[in-house]
Chains A and B, each alone.
Chain A
Amino acid sequence: MATIITKEQQEKEKMVTLVSSDSEKFVVEQKVAEKSHVIKMVMNCCGIESPIPVRRVKGDILKSILEYCEKHSKGEAQEVMEKWDKEYMDKAEKDLVFFHDLMLASHFLHIQELVDLIAVTFAGMLKMKSPEEIRQKFNINNDLTKEQEEHIMTTFGWAFQPI
């Protein structure tokens, strides 16, 4: 007897459950989860029947990442996507800890588009800042000796000149 697969079932079959490090569950479409190369590989080898644990990523980060993946799996016009990406980044960069976690997670899950988007945004953030501002912002201790610092400044004198 032939099995009749209803539309609902078909839809259901494409869903996959992801579990964050703090046990939060997310049910998303397979094509959304596939945006992550790592999850895609897991789905390929283990199937989508059982929930996939994403141990290194916390719920709030995973939620935000899946939001990105979902938007990017729709195939919308480039202008729409660029605008959306910019808003997404504007929101993310307000909270530095969140931004940092998002960056780590995008690397860990291997979502190249997001890795690049974050890197470009980050570079834009850094670009206009002075070394001192960066030290303050990221709480970096300057462990270079005075001599080392002077050596760099003499070697790359042109970079330290005002425009």
Chain B
Amino acid sequence: MEVPKKSNTAKRLADDILINILIRLPPKSLCKFMVISKAWHSLISDAYWEKFQVSTKIGTSFIPYSRRVYLNGIIHIVASKRHVVAIDLDSMVCRRIEMPVIKPLIRNALLGNLTRSLHYADKRNKEMNIWMLKDYESGEWVLKHSVVFEVGFNVMAFHPEMDIVFLRMLNNKIMSYKMSNGELKEVCKLRHKSMRGFFVFSPFFGEDVLESKFGV
């Protein structure tokens, strides 16, 4: 979008508008559009990719994770160390869900979308427990998986489509852990040590949003 560069405010507004549009595109288009111009490249990469980007062989990329998870029309926010707040965007009904376990430090825990339902990973020393929210009404969680690793790690992200959890090992490597068979695979090595969390960007997520709105 070519908007006359009148002032910083005008430029920032134009950038905001463009980012608001870009976030609705599937990652494939987003990556392609980086070659349009310097401005587009920096907008796309600043916001999502460059600093945190680790592209992998399977075409999945990571962007910094936040403590908000959007799933089935509901936004889930880690509100405190004891609670998750779920907001239904259609009805705007808010619900407070108690965490399966209370953690003194939220950073060692992770809320996420795994195979299209809300999951919570809780790490204690070398042990990892993965909980799944079974019922919104009662706020009941079920312990889905429990595993003890030999080395130190951090839970980084859930895979939205498969039963995979991404872990960061002490040597800054990202490993994928498959719950069904316990398979641990190296995905990539991080360039930045400061990264604390990710959000797995699946190539088909953006498409879904567009399809549901416009049937394209």
Q: How far is the CA of A145 from the CA of B154 in the complex (A)?
A: 39
Whether the Cβ atoms of B34 and A126 lie closer than 8 Å is no
Q: How far is the CA of A143 from the CA of B2 in the complex (A)?
A: 14
B214 at the interface (CB under 8 A from A): yes
Across the interface, which residues of B come within 8 angstroms of A108, CB to CB? 13
Q: How far is the CA of A21 from the CA of B93 in the complex (A)?
A: 39
Across the interface, which residues of A come within 8 angstroms of B117, CB to CB? none
Across the interface, which residues of A come within 8 angstroms of B22, CB to CB? 123
Contact flags (1/0) for A152-163 with B, using CB distance below 8 Å? 110110111000
Whether the Cβ atoms of B17 and A143 lie closer than 8 Å is no
B35 at the interface (CB under 8 A from A): yes
B210 at the interface (CB under 8 A from A): yes
A41 at the interface (CB under 8 A from B): no
B152 at the interface (CB under 8 A from A): no
B22 to A, closest residue via Cβ: A123
Of residues 7 through 24 on chain B, the ones whose CB sits less than 8 Å from some CB of chain A are 13, 16-17, 20-22, 24
Whether the Cβ atoms of A143 and B27 lie closer than 8 Å is no
Q: How far is the CA of A50 from the CA of B26 in the complex (A)?
A: 46
Contact flags (1/0) for B187-215 with A, using CB distance below 8 Å? 00000000000000000001001100110
Q: Per a CB cutoff under 8 Å, which of A107, A122, A131 touches B32?
A: A131
A103 at the interface (CB under 8 A from B): yes
B21 to chain A, nearest CB (A): 5
B55 at the interface (CB under 8 A from A): yes
Q: Per a CB cutoff under 8 Å, which of B17, B31, B41 touches A159?
A: B31
Q: Per a CB cutoff under 8 Å, which of B2, B3, B53, B216 touches A127?
A: B216
Across the interface, which residues of A come within 8 angstroms of B3, CB to CB? 100, 104
Q: How far is the CA of A120 from the CA of B21 in the complex (A)?
A: 7
A130 at the interface (CB under 8 A from B): yes
B interface SS class: helix
B136 at the interface (CB under 8 A from A): no
A149 at the interface (CB under 8 A from B): yes
Contact flags (1/0) for A14-43 with B, using CB distance below 8 Å? 000000000000000000000000000000
Whether the Cβ atoms of B20 and A119 lie closer than 8 Å is yes
B92 at the interface (CB under 8 A from A): no
Whether the Cβ atoms of B13 and A104 lie closer than 8 Å is yes
Report the interface size for chain B: residues with CB under 8 A from the other chain. Answer: 36
Most buried by B among A104, A123, A138, A152: A123
Whether the Cβ atoms of A127 and B36 lie closer than 8 Å is no
B27 to chain A, nearest CB (A): 7
Across the interface, which residues of A come within 8 angstroms of B32, CB to CB? 130-131, 156, 159-160
Whether the Cβ atoms of A153 and B17 lie closer than 8 Å is no
B51 to chain A, nearest CB (A): 14
Across the interface, which residues of A come within 8 angstroms of B139, CB to CB? none
Residue numbers of A with Cβ under 8 A of B are 86, 100, 103-104, 107-108, 115, 119-124, 126-127, 130-131, 134-135, 138-144, 148-149, 152-153, 155-156, 158-160
Residue numbers of B with Cβ under 8 A of A are 1-3, 13, 16-17, 20-22, 24-41, 53, 55, 59, 206, 209-210, 213-214, 216
A123-B21, A123-B25, A139-B2 are known; give 19 further A-B pairs, CB within 8 A.
A86-B214, A100-B3, A104-B13, A120-B24, A120-B210, A120-B213, A123-B24, A124-B216, A127-B25, A127-B29, A131-B33, A131-B35, A134-B36, A140-B37, A141-B37, A158-B59, A159-B27, A159-B28, A160-B31
